[in-house]
Amino acid sequence: MIKFLYIFLGGGVGSVIRYCISILFVKFHFPIATLLSNILSCLILGSILFFFSKNNLNDHVKLFFVIGLCGGLSTFSTFSYETINLFKMGYLTYAIFNILCSLILCFLTIYFLIKKL
For 59-104, the pLDDT digits (tens) are: 899 899 999 999 999 999 999 999 999 999 999 999 999 999 999 9
Which residue segment(s) compose the domain that 12 sits in?
2-115
User: Quick check: 2 and 50 in contact, CB under 8 A?
Assistant: no
Q: Tell me what pLDDT residue 60 has.
A: 92
63: DSSP letter? I
15-41 in b/e form (b: 16+ CB < 10 A) is bebbeebbeeeeeeebbbbbbbbbbbb
Q: Tell me what pLDDT residue 10 has.
A: 97
Average pLDDT over residues 10-32: 94
> Can you give the pTM of this predicted structure?
0.89
pLDDT at 116 over 80: no
Q: Tell me what pLDDT residue 79 has.
A: 95
Please count the structural domains in the chain.
1
Nearest residue to 47 (alpha-carbon basis) of 60, 66, 64: 66
pLDDT greater at residue 117 or residue 94: 94
For 27-68, what is each residue's pLDDT tens digit? 888 999 999 999 999 999 999 888 887 888 788 998 999 999
User: Quick check: 6 and 63 in contact, CB under 8 A?
Assistant: yes
Q: Tell me what pLDDT residue 117 has.
A: 64
116: DSSP letter? T
CA max distance for the chain: 50
Helix (H, G, I), strand (E, B) or coil at 2: helix
